[in-house]
Structure 1
Amino acid sequence: MVDEHEEGDTVTVVVWIAEGTWAACVDAARAHAPQDAEVVLLHVSGQDVPGVAHGAFAGLLGRGHRERDPGTRVEHLAAGSARQLLDAAADRLGRPCTRVERSGHTEREVVAAAEDADLLVLARDGDRTRLGPRSLGPATRFVVDHAPCPVLLVWPEPAPGADTLPPPPPRQR
């Protein structure tokens, strides 16, 4: 559990809310964040899908009809989905929290959001059938490597057994 630094200082816990793993992160925050901690639920929408839609419209269909640009609709759908996910996470958390929506390069936005945090909670999002570094996707690996605060890394489901560890490397002479 994270303890307060000095009397009167509030502990800030940032919980990265991502599709497919958010429930485990919220459960970990409930279990490990002090009751009086400020909990920030963070969702980051990448810009790649709306950007591709904008680019396809401009390149294939020409310019001059912004109202028909599908990228704008994709952006609105992503924002609505993020709000629904944050609402579900807040309900599951069951205590006061702040909801933050960001967009951009996901891994960089998460690191930036954790700049003043006392704890960052995130989940494994890669190959979850075995223990090891491949259990982290590229964005999560970046966040773990660059987080400016302690990280609580959780399994979204029960962790695989120790028998899934890769064999040790051969001895070199």
Structure 2
Amino acid sequence: MAVVVWLREGTWPACADAARDQLPADGRTVLLHVTDPETAETADAARAGLLGRAAPPGRDPAARIDRLAADLSRELLAAAGARVGRPCELRSVTGGPERAVTAAASGADLLICARDGDRGHPGPHSLGPATRFVVDHAECPVLLVWPDR
């Protein structure tokens, strides 16, 4: 059984727990973290909007945000792998989360992800836009978990 587990800040522990508790130990598990490049692009655009002022050498905000995002991704994947407690493929990708997750789940037997919207109201609003897209477009079954359970 091939399983992709989509890990996001704030909801990843519930997804890692679901992978640990619900999946057979002999399956292939991919822990996936997606970094959206939009954050760094926004910082770069803000800097460019300062009437062409260049950032001092080594102080480009977009590059710094990219480095911080890569560090965060590595730390999150390592923590999730330890929480799952068995060998997993750790995959960090950059791109639009909706497309990156559906592409990663193509050919998988199961995708695990967490609800990330309004936790107080079960139903459609308990899914953020990216998760809603993934649920609607994944080519495999999707296990949705509540992040606080």
Q: Which category of TM-score, normalised to the shorter sequence, fits these structures?
A: over 0.9
**Structure 2 counterpart of 1:145:** 136
Pair 1:96 & 2:81 matched: no
Superimposed CA distance per residue, residues 91-129 of structure 1 (whole angstroms, 9 cap, x where no aligned partner): 100000010001111111111110121100000000111
Compute the RMSD of aligned alpha carbons: 1.4
**Structure 1 counterpart of 2:31:** 41
Pair 1:17 & 2:7 matched: yes
The letter of the residue matching 2:99 is R
**Structure 1 counterpart of 2:74:** 83
Within the candidate set 100, 103, 116, 1:112 is matched to 103
Deviation of residue 25 (structure 1)?
Answer: 0.6
**Structure 1 unaligned regions, length at least 5:** 1-10, 159-173
* 1-structure distance, mates of 2:37, 2:111: 23
The letter of the residue matching 2:28 is E
* 1-structure distance, mates of 2:58, 2:46: 15
* 1-structure distance, mates of 2:121, 2:48: 44
- Match of 2:25, SS? coil
- Match of 1:60, SS? coil
- Match of 1:29, SS? helix
* 2-structure distance, mates of 1:91, 1:32: 16
Pair 1:156 & 2:147 matched: yes
- Match of 2:49, SS? helix
Within the candidate set 39, 54, 60, 2:44 is matched to 54
- Match of 1:111, SS? helix
Deviation of residue 67 (structure 1)?
Answer: 3.8
**Structure 2 counterpart of 1:161:** none
* 2-structure distance, mates of 1:56, 1:157: 35
Residue-pair matches, total: 148
Greater C-alpha Rg: 1
Q: Which portions of structure 1, spanning 4 or more consecutive aligned residues, are displaced by more than 6 angstroms? A: none
Higher relative contact order (CA 8 A, sep 6+): 2
TM-score, length-scaled by structure 2: 0.93
